[in-house]
Structure 1
Amino acid sequence: MVNLDCSQSALFSCFCVCNSSPLSKSCVYVCLLLH
């Protein structure tokens, strides 16, 4: 699993998306390439 820095690159717009499930809270890191 890759742990990315939220301010990794100005070329990408990155954000974390988390589900708040009471059984298992998990987050995914999403990066969109800026054109």
Structure 2
Amino acid sequence: LNRRNSISCIVQICRVVYAASQMTRMQTTKLFAVEF
């Protein structure tokens, strides 16, 4: 692995983690809205 490939891989992983956190945040807010 050269440096550019590793950096792009890290960026892709960060994007996936960010998208997953956004989805879970939306789901939790929906659950809270239903509860209250």
Regarding TM over 0.5, the answer is no
Structure with higher RCO (Cα < 8 A, 6+ apart): 1
- TM superposition score normalised by structure 2: 0.22
**Which structure has the larger Rg over C-alpha atoms?**
2
- TM superposition score normalised by structure 1: 0.22
Select the structure that is richer in strand.
1
Select the structure that is richer in helix.
2
